[in-house]
Structure 1
């Protein structure tokens, strides 16, 4: 892989990843509610989820998802149900517990890590995106596996930096929006977005 092709991949990935999605929404709201420790766990979960989705896409699962209606439908509905579940939980979250150590203990780093990992992995559109996006930066005349060993870690690092910046901004705004009424509106807005995304994924028909 040439340096110019890699730099093009870095630039394109940074632009795509910077667009807020369900994972960033989840990380930002948890960062505001529970602080940097939980946010860091979610950033790591998102990174591992992204790496897993990219690896599965490049290993051929992406092709399977686009050719097998049954596999695509099962994974799509499973991811949709999980997003709806997260949206309902976020809507119902008690805003008065903002910054409460007991609330943070109930969430826990492992649970936060798992949420971020699953949200990143269970979106079939994400795997489909990687199937379409990564080949644009593959040198057909160079060995395939070494290129994947460069592209996947590169995108993971960019994703971690992006998620960390969003989490840091959310934490800095924590003291500004620490009022229960403001946090309740944020939780409900996030709940609507996540639930709506789940419904949209479930209703989407593959072409």
Structure 2
């Protein structure tokens, strides 16, 4: 994968991971309820869940690479359209969840159970998995070596997951106050949505130029 392609993939991944969805709000709730000491467990759990998501997406990519070239090209363009669709939905939607309180009822306290809880909730976010299924084919053509690309995709996404989740855990108090002052949170979702739209457009244009 070229440097330009990697940058586009990384930016799209950050935009996807930075949207304050179910996992992010759960990380904030644990940090507020049990302190920043939960950061290791919550970051680990969310990252494991995201690794499952990209693992599913890589398996789907491997299957798509077995398709005839024409069918694979159609899948790529359908993926670009789906990325833009998700981006528009993100741009228009409020941040998931309500206000976060210090005493939110959290079912787990032990680190391993917190990890399992965060992992489970992240896996339940099928939007991320579907987005990755649509995104990954944009950066591979039939005939390219699969394993090197898979390694780059997985490691990049995992590292970005750690960084974004850790940011939510360490800045939980400030983020909670921001969300309280901006109950509709339109600025956050619109910023992420705009980046995703740009990523979908750029990847589509990149594929056309490469062809």
Common topology (TM > 0.5) = yes
Moved over 3 A (4+): 60-63, 171-174
Give the TM-score normalised by structure 2: 0.58
Deviation string for 1:24-72 (max 9, x for gaps)? 0000111111112212201111101101111122213998xxxxxxxxx
Structure 1 gap ranges (5+): 64-86, 98-102, 177-184, 186-207
Partner Cα separation in structure 1 for residue 54 and residue 27 of structure 2:
20
Q: Work out whether 1:160 is the aligned partner of 2:162.
A: yes
Deviation string for 1:128-149 (max 9, x for gaps)? 2211122222244521221011
SS in 2 for 1:60: helix
Structure 2 gap ranges (5+): 64-96, 181-211
How large is the Cα RMSD of the aligned pairs? Answer: 3.4
Q: 1:10 to 1:171 in 2, by over 3 A?
A: same
SS in 2 for 1:133: helix
Q: Which moved more, 1:12-21 or 1:111-120?
A: 12-21
Give the TM-score normalised by structure 1: 0.59
Shift of 1:172: 6.0
Aligned residues: 145
Partner Cα separation in structure 2 for residue 173 and residue 15 of structure 1:
17
Q: 1:172 to 1:138 in 2, by over 3 A?
A: same
Q: 1:62 to 1:111 in 2, by over 3 A?
A: farther
Aligned to 1:149: 151
For the 8 Å contact 1:62–1:128, the answer to whether it is kept is no
Shift of 1:127: 2.1
Aligned to 2:103: 95
SS in 2 for 1:95: coil
Partner Cα separation in structure 2 for residue 21 and residue 165 of structure 1:
14
